[in-house]
Amino acid sequence: MNKEDLKSLNQLPQSYWLASTDPTDYSSLSEDISVDIAIIGAGMAGILCAYLLHKENLSMAVLDAGKILGGTTSHTTAKITSQHGLIYDKLKKQMGFDLAKQYADANENAIKQIKDIIDQHHIDCDYSPQSAYIYAEDENNAEKIEDEVKTASELGIKASFIDEIPFPISIKAGMKFDNQAQFHPRKFLLRLAEIIGNEGVRIYENSRAVDLEDGEKITITTEQGKKVTANKVIIASHYPFYNKPGMYFSRIYTERTYILAIAAKEKYPGGMYINAENPSRSLRELDTKDGQLILVVGENHKTGQGRDMANHYRNLIDFADRIFTVEDIPYRWSTQDCMTLDGIPYIGYYKQDTPDILIATGFQKWGMTNSMVAANIIRDLITDGSSQWQDVYNPSRKNIIGAAKTFIVENVDVAKHLISGKISPLPENVEVSPGEGKVFEHDGERIGAYRDEQGKLFLVNTTCTHMGCELNWNSAERSWDCPCHGSRFTFSGNIIDGPAVSPLTAENDVNTVEKIIKDEF
């Protein structure tokens, strides 16, 4: 396929998971309420926490800033797998066998538990058992594959060595995990939301939490000024919006990854594949009512960093063309993942001295099983005071070997981007064409401009409302992205991804800036 002729690159991205399911219509929070447990964030982790905890006869409310299951959960590759890259040998060396075993057991259990829930409620969610594969094209990674097979097997995972994959890709080594799976995440979770909603759990959409006060009870305030009083709060909002005591903004960074859903002449051979190198490449099939599609995934980079974001899609098209006869690309989208310093999610007490505030974040790129793990750990901490898997996921863990270097690198990078937009010269003679976004300067003010296909101009202040970093234009998604902590905003300034809780505003009156552009550019 000629990527220059690909019309879909000129259109806004669309996730298959969203396109193939009905939109939700839960009400927003319109009055102050009091509950036993409040859950902030109605993605996979939040809904699964509510699903497990609602059986404990606790009153609950789930708040989402937008539509439930509309964020990262609807932009995933939806692989239910304990194969999280080359993680187990690294875990054993850095944290010891026992903690590596905790991680392996928690994720293997999650695979089985998801299937049990599907069977229990007879949920039609395109569940399909699959094997998961990692392959190395570089000789330097072949030994790492061999070590990973050995360690994973010691930890009780059914892992084996392979020396070829069913694609025209020459590999040096490979690894296979049996008893893994894939599914349609929204079909699965929308049904669970319906079940818990029918059994008394209150679910609210368009109810963004903007403040949290810890006292005898915890009070959450929404952007509409409504308050939720709770005995315990679970923060499952992907990137934590509440940063004051935990400094999570210094311990998490975000990455974006791109996804194509292609129709190919060849039949997909089955299995879920990912390479061991960078740039990342991942493959899995997707059966739809219109026939088989193949998810081609990769091109990860830090959010808000990079120039031509649309080029990541073009690189994936090149990769797909080398393997398949691509006939169409009906869907494309990107996703955003929260990354931790040591590669392990933060699940448990927000801080050791805040037993009534719990958190689930930093799932890396493996949110399907880790969301299930999070629900189990948090349920156990609330009901029993402990969990068999809490130590490896403990947000306050002290045994993060090698993470200090990552902390320094990531936060120096944040500081660089915090000041770069404020001191860098901006282009002169700016013209904003339909479908284009640019930044320009007028009277010392940095202004972001986007003109839609109908010629309407949208203007925003390009300073992120979270911590003041300067935003960059994302040409692939037509959004303003923060290179520091991953907040994202629409071209009109509304929030797409946190941790920001306030939208962008126009720096000047629209008509005035229209005149500025006409007069000066």
Q: What is the model's pLDDT at position 244?
A: 65
Determine the 3-state secondary structure of 252 from DSSP: strand
Q: What percent of the chain has pLDDT over 90?
A: 65
Q: What is the model's pLDDT at position 515?
A: 45
16-76+186-251+343-401 shares its CATH topology with 436-520: no
Q: What is the model's pLDDT at position 418?
A: 43
pLDDT per position as a tens digit, 466-503: 777 888 888 777 888 887 877 888 888 888 877 887 88
Q: Are 192 and 117 in contact (CB under 8 A)?
A: yes
Q: Which residues contact 407 (CB under 8 A, 6 or more apart)?
A: 250, 251, 341
Q: Residue 125 burial (CB < 10 Å; 0-12/13-18/19+)?
A: buried
CATH number attached to the domain at 436-520: 2.102.10.10
- Could you tell me the CA-to-CA distances from 313 to 18, 21, 261, 272, 438 in Å, in that order? 19, 24, 11, 20, 21
Please say if the pLDDT value at position 17 is more than 50: yes
Which structure tokens are listed for 399? 């045994």
Of residues 109 and 13, more confidence is placed in 109
pLDDT per position as a tens digit, 256-280: 899 999 999 999 999 999 999 999 9
Give 461-478 as a 3 state SS string.
Answer: ECECCCCCCECEEECCCC
pLDDT per position as a tens digit, 342-396: 999 999 999 988 999 999 999 999 999 999 999 999 999 999 999 999 999 999 9
In whole numbers, what is the pLDDT of the chain averaged over residues? Answer: 87
Torsion of Cα atoms, 92 then 96 then 102 then 107, to 10°: -20
Beta bridge partner(s), residue 360 = 347
pLDDT per position as a tens digit, 300-321: 888 766 656 778 999 999 999 9
Return the minimum-mean-pLDDT range out of 69-78, 227-236, 507-516.
Answer: 507-516
Predicted model pTM: 0.83
Please say if the pLDDT value at position 412 is more than 80: no
pLDDT per position as a tens digit, 145-179: 999 999 999 999 999 999 999 999 999 999 999 99
Four-way CATH pick for 16-76+186-251+343-401: 3.40.50.150, 3.50.50.60, 3.40.50.800, 3.40.190.10 = 3.50.50.60
Q: What is the model's pLDDT at position 303?
A: 74
DSSP codes, 279-314: S-EEEEEEEETTEEEEEEEEEEEETT--S-THHHHH
Q: Which residues contact 204 (CB under 8 A, 6 or more apart)?
A: 26, 27, 28, 29, 61, 62, 63, 64
Q: What is the model's pLDDT at position 459?
A: 83
Q: Are 518 and 432 in contact (CB under 8 A)?
A: no
Domain ranges across the chain:
16-76+186-251+343-401, 436-520
Of residues 422 and 269, more confidence is placed in 269
Q: What is the model's pLDDT at position 272?
A: 98
Q: What is the model's pLDDT at position 516?
A: 42
pLDDT per position as a tens digit, 240-251: 887 666 678 778
pLDDT per position as a tens digit, 381-394: 999 999 999 999 99
Query: Which of 390, 369, 374, 382 lies closest to 53 in space, CA to CA?
Result: 382
Q: Are 262 and 320 in contact (CB under 8 A)?
A: yes
Q: What is the model's pLDDT at position 402?
A: 46
